[in-house]
């Protein structure tokens, strides 16, 4: 790619990341409304946590009052760190029987109370002929539009499923967004968006498809790690242009789990790079030059993408691993400096220009600043990592770095 295309692609991604994760939005209220053909009292019994049909969606397992001032303990079906249902202490205000209520969250067993400091949700039911208009609102303080958009679509989905439940008496789990076919569609869309950056020809499309496949394999490694650490379910969400996200079935329980899941993104692909190198050599020896070049390109893209994810930047896999295994800020700073230096030296050895490497270093620093503090603080500190686990993860990090580093140097020698 040319310098202009590279700068455009990087700048666009940085802008999107800032918009999605960091830009301060202040207090914002999301409102969703829908007319449902059902009796208002029936819908109230479903939406009111103490109603007879409060478990219509399976989200609320039970609700019991704690005092006479509107405080209640709600047990949810979502798994906590201990694989037990998350419990939430909430306060209800402005309750109009059968018509409206507001709820604030005092605390829960998953997240730090500061997460709920500005949160407030309201449900309002107004009769419209033989139907009922249901209006849901949520107010919170936001940094970045990603969570704001997520809540909007989550509320809209809830009303749509409530409508189906009111008509059929059955709750339908899931939706089109997380359906495997939808994710395949997003992956195809991502490849099509990347295609022009590599050239509108068969070679450019092949590169876009290879990069999209590399992203999928990387996230598959995270998903495998989630399952190996006890998550009952894991899924992948493709975000066109930005890549993908692997999501576990519960919050993290220990620092080792965070480090292991983060490292397995690149670790999973590290098992494949030597196989791709060997297959490329075999194909070349048999006279299949085009196949050998495609396999070499796949190995190079996989190595470059995964080793870039090991950069010691907050929210990147490498930064997450180092944050968990380094025993203090001095060791963390030293390890981050050494890893970043090794990455830049590897890039120089692979043939990247010094100016490009300087720009890459600046981009990594900007990413670190943009994403710093964007995480959600858990209710309780994660379980500490043991010395043996710390050494094992550190050794695995070096091994994964070495494999992808060799793969990148080998591919650059074959293709350039």
Give the model confidence (pLDDT) of 192-235 as tens digits: 888 887 788 888 888 888 888 999 899 999 999 999 998 888 88
**What's residue 4's pLDDT?**
59
Across 181-283, where does the E strand assignment appear?
Answer: 234-239, 243-248
pLDDT at residue 249 is higher than 80: yes
d(CA 22, CA 340): 24
**What's residue 371's pLDDT?**
62
d(CA 220, CA 252): 18
**What's residue 372's pLDDT?**
61
> Looking at residues 253-272, what average pLDDT do you find?
93
pLDDT at residue 379 is higher than 70: yes
Q: Which H or E run includes 179?
A: none
**Alpha carbon of residue 390 to chain centroid:** 24
Spatial contact of 108 and 379, defined as CB atoms under 8 Å apart: yes
Per-residue burial over 395-414, b if 16 or more Cβ lie within 10 Å, else e, is ebbeebbebbbebbbbbbeb
User: pLDDT above 70 covers what percent of the chain?
Assistant: 92
Nearest-CA neighbor of 209 among 326, 285, 268, 294?
294
CA angle 264, 268, 269 (to 5 degrees): 125
pLDDT band at 414 (very low <50, low <70, confident <90, very high): confident
Region for residue 287 given its phi and psi (left: phi exceeds 0; alpha: psi -120 to 50; beta: otherwise): left
Residue with tokens 């196949």: 291
pLDDT at residue 8 is higher than 70: no
> Looking at residues 144-155, what average pLDDT do you find?
90
DSSP 314: T
**What's residue 370's pLDDT?**
63
pLDDT at residue 151 is higher than 60: yes
**What's residue 155's pLDDT?**
94
SS3 8: helix
**What's residue 200's pLDDT?**
83
Cα separation of the two ends of the chain: 13
Nearest-CA neighbor of 266 among 384, 404, 100, 380?
404
- Torsions phi, psi for 242 (to 5 deg): -80, -25
Can you say whether the dihedral through the CA atoms of 52, 58, 59, 65 is positive or negative?
Answer: positive
**Alpha carbon of residue 336 to chain centroid:** 23
d(CA 304, CA 405): 8
Spatial contact of 254 and 204, defined as CB atoms under 8 Å apart: no
**What's residue 194's pLDDT?**
82
Q: How far is CA 390 from CA 256, 270, 325, 342, 398, in A?
A: 8, 20, 5, 21, 13
Q: Which H or E run includes 32?
A: strand 24-36
DSSP 386: P
pLDDT at residue 3 is higher than 60: no
d(CA 16, CA 364): 15
Domain 28-143 belongs to what topology?
Alpha-D-Glucose-1,6-Bisphosphate; Chain A, domain 4 (3.30.530)
**What's residue 337's pLDDT?**
86
| 4 class by beta-carbon count within 10 Å (0-12 exposed, 13-18 middle, 19+ buried) | exposed
pLDDT at residue 161 is higher than 90: yes
pLDDT in tens, 9-20: 666 666 777 777
Mean of pLDDT over the chain: 87
pLDDT in tens, 29-63: 999 999 999 999 999 999 999 999 999 998 999 99
pLDDT in tens, 281-305: 899 888 888 888 999 999 999 998 9
Q: Where are the domains of the chain?
A: 28-143, 174-250, 251-416
Tokens representing residue 204 in the block? 């450019």
pLDDT in tens, 340-376: 888 888 888 887 777 777 777 777 766 666 666 556 7
pLDDT band at 308 (very low <50, low <70, confident <90, very high): confident
- Say what the pTM is: 0.82
What is the CB-side half-sphere exposure of residue 345 using CA atoms within 13 A?
A: 9
Across 37-143, where does the E strand assignment appear?
Answer: 60-65, 71-79, 85-96, 100-108, 120-128, 131-143
Spatial contact of 87 and 75, defined as CB atoms under 8 Å apart: yes
Q: Does residue 279 or residue 187 have the better pLDDT?
A: 279
């Amino acid at each position: 790619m040319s310098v202009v295309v590279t700068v455009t692609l990087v700048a666009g991604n940085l802008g999107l990341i800032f918009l999605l994760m960091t830009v301060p939005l202040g207090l914002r209220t999301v409102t969703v409304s829908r007319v449902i053909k059902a009796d208002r009292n029936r819908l109230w019994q479903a939406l009111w946590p103490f109603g007879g049909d409060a478990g219509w969606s399976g989200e609320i397992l039970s609700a019991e009052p704690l005092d006479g001032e509107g405080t209640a303990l709600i047990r949810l079906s979502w798994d906590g760190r201990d694989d037990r249902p998350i419990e939430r202490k909430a306060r209800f205000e402005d309750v109009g029987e059968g018509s409206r209520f507001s709820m604030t969250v005092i605390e829960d067993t998953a997240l730090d109370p500061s997460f709920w400091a500005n949160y407030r949700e309201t449900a309002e039911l107004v009769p419209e002929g033989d139907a009922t208009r249901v209006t849901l609102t949520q107010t919170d303080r936001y940094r970045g539009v990603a969570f704001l958009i997520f809540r909007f679509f989550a509320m809209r989905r809830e009303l749509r499923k409530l409508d189906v439940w009111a008509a059929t008496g059955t709750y339908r789990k899931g939706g089109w967004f997380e359906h495997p076919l939808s994710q395949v569609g997003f992956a195809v869309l991502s490849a099509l968006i990347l295609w022009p950056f590599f050239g509108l020809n068969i070679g450019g499309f092949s590169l876009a498809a290879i990069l999209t496949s590399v992203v999928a394999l990387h996230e598959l490694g995270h998903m495998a790690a989630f399952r190996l650490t006890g998550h009952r379910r894991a899924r992948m969400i493709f975000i066109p242009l930005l890549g993908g996200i692997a999501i576990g079935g519960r919050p993290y329980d220990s620092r080792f789990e965070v480090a292991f899941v983060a490292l397995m993104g690149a670790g999973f692909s590290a098992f494949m790079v030597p196989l791709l190198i060997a297959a490329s050599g075999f194909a070349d020896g048999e006279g299949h030059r085009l196949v050998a070049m495609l396999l070499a390109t796949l190995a190079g893209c996989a190595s470059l993408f995964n080793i870039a994810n090991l950069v010691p930047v907050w929210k990147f896999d490498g930064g997450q691993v180092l944050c968990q295994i380094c025993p203090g800020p001095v060791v963390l700073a030293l390890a981050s400096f050494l890893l970043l230096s090794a990455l830049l030296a590897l890039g120089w050895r692979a043939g990247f220009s010094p100016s490009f490497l300087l720009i890459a270093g600046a981009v990594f620093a900007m990413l670190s600043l943009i994403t710093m503090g964007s995480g959600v603080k858990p209710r309780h500190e994660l379980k500490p990592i043991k010395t043996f686990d710390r050494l094992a993860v550190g050794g695995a990090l070096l091994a994964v770095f070495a494999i992808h580093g060799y793969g990148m140097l080998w591919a650059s020698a074959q293709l350039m």
